[in-house]
Amino acid sequence: MKRPRDFFATRLGIVIVGLVIGCLAATLQKLGNPANMGICVACFTRDIAGALGLHQAAKVQYLRPEIPAFCLGAFLAALAFREFRPRTGSAPVVRFILGMFAMIGALIFLGCPWRAMLRLAGGDWNAILGIIGLSVGIGVGVAFLRGGFSLGRSYPTRAVAGLTMPFVMVVLLLLTILYPQFGEEGTAALFRSAEGPGAAAAPIVWSTIVGLVIGFLAQRTRFCTVGGLRDVILMRDFHLLSGVGAFLVTAFVLNLVYEQFNPGFEGQPAAHTTHWLNFAGMVLAGLSFTLAGGCPGRQVFLSGEGDSDAAVFVLGMMFGAAVSHNLMLVGDKPNADYMVVIGLVIVCIIGLMGREKLAVAR
Amino acid sequence: MAESVDARGLSCPQPVILTRRALQQTSVKDVIVLVDTMTQVHNCTRVAEKLGWQAEYEEKDDVFELTLRKR
């Protein structure tokens, strides 16, 4: 019998990792990533969907190395600490749909929970509406969880199932590094924005290294922006939130140092001032992430440690990004109002239908 | 006779909800929790220690058996 001891599982461990991630996020912006978007799991996944041609929004197409590097950093950490466990079978299609709606909600706000914190740290006060919405969405999710919501158990499976997502991420990383050209005219295999947020990027080598480091550290500490708020609402446990708090404060301080802090509601980068949609989009995202068990970053890290269901959620997010841009649901576009209501109704139906009495076996 | 909670394969935060509920409702001094990741070992340990229980675990065939004892 062993006592569970691990520095990364301590309060100090997660606070230090929050500090490191906040520092790296602000620095990636300094190195060229879009403003208040040093890291955004939703935006970067959307950019990857664009690079692969799943949507045609010309300003947001770039195969961001950070997302594959997150997954591979977590994969390496899981291998190094014997935590790589291929598993699957917990309602993958429902997770795909939750990933889709989480992305649709996040892109109405224009950012995932990570970017919500980074927008706040950069002085974008519209993020306050987003974070309030995120908290409300997580609160509704907690109510479903308290009522017995579950997507069912996952089960151990063959190595190939757990290795598939890391393999896909290796391919994506190679594609963006090598940037292959096909045909005599040299047509690129990927779409790449010439202007807009998709054209703003830190050098690939730094994006990759930072992504690997964050993936490694986040896998060890289970860093989760949604889990931070969820655990406080559910049981007054501030463990994960202390990491998120450290992330926010460090990004804020470094934004001051780098002169990246511009307070206000108006004229913020990749943002809109329709308060209702900033709020409601993140209610939808927060609820969807909570029912699926974690924030978009956490889903990417889990996919790296062999969780195929989390991988399906990530693919759902990519599909959701394509749907959002193809059907004009992004930001405060007119269709966003309808979609956020439809999304909330569907995800609440999933929440109600997923309730079951989880028996405590004696 | 120890009470047991089977939280194998459940997503966050269900193992913690089940463990917490069991510890708050039980009258016995030993509760066994079965989980299948170290993440859940640490999460369930954290909630147990907050409620005044001690945790020890052992791994058998890719399953972690967490033994919680009332202090």
Residue A3: closest C-alpha in chain B: B56
Q: Is B30 exposed, middle or buried (0-12, 13-18, 19+ CB in 10 A)?
A: middle
Residue pLDDT, tens place only, A243-272:
999 999 999 999 999 999 999 999 999 999
Q: Are A302 and A83 in contact (CB under 8 A)?
A: no
Q: Please name the member of A222, A237, A292 whose beta carbon is closest to the beta carbon of B39.
A: A222
**Region of poorest pLDDT, from A51-65, A160-174, A249-263, A348-362:** A348-362
Amino acid at A165: M
Chain A residues in contact with B12 (beta carbon < 8 A): 224, 227, 293-294
SS3 A112: coil
User: Residue A12 pLDDT more than 90?
Assistant: yes
CB atoms within 10 A of CB A147: 13
Task: Determine whether the interchain pair A358/B45 forms a contact, defined as Cβ–Cβ distance below 8 Å.
Answer: no
Substitution target in B3, B8, B12 with the highest count of A β-carbons within 10 Å is: B12
User: Residue A187 pLDDT more than 80?
Assistant: no
Looking at the domain that runs over B3-70, which CATH code has it been given? Answer: 3.30.110.40
Distance CA A161, CA A145 (A): 28
Paired residues of A250 in beta bridges? none
- Six-digit token pair at A342? 């439809």
Whether pTM exceeds 0.90: yes
Task: Determine whether the interchain pair B50/A237 forms a contact, defined as Cβ–Cβ distance below 8 Å.
Answer: yes
The distance of Cα A43 from the centroid of its chain, to the nearest Å, equals 8
Report the mean per-residue pLDDT for chain A.
95
- The CA distance from B9 to the nearest CA of chain A, in Å, is 4
Task: Determine whether the interchain pair A146/B10 forms a contact, defined as Cβ–Cβ distance below 8 Å.
Answer: no
Q: How much is the pLDDT for B50?
A: 94
Residues A313-322 have a mean pLDDT of 98
Q: How much is the pLDDT for A334?
A: 87
Name the H helices within chain B. Answer: 14-25, 38-50
**Segments making up each domain of chain A, as ranges:** 7-353
Residue A85: closest C-alpha in chain B: B37
User: Residue B1 pLDDT more than 80?
Assistant: no
User: Residue A183 pLDDT more than 80?
Assistant: no
DSSP A227-282: HHHHHHHHH---HHHHHHHHHHHHHHHHHHHTT----BSTT-TT----HHHHHHHH
Give the closest residue to A211 by CA, choosing from A254, A259, A177, A161: A177
Q: How much is the pLDDT for A357?
A: 59
Q: Please name the member of B11, B22, B37 whose beta carbon is closest to the beta carbon of A360.
A: B22
Task: Determine whether the interchain pair B18/A360 forms a contact, defined as Cβ–Cβ distance below 8 Å.
Answer: yes
Residue pLDDT, tens place only, A92-107:
999 999 999 999 999 9
Distance CA A71, CA A208 (A): 11
CB atoms within 10 A of CB A7: 10
**Region of poorest pLDDT, from A92-101, A106-115, A183-192, A214-223:** A183-192
Q: A30 pLDDT band (50/70/90 cuts)?
A: very high
Chain A residues in contact with B43 (beta carbon < 8 A): 222
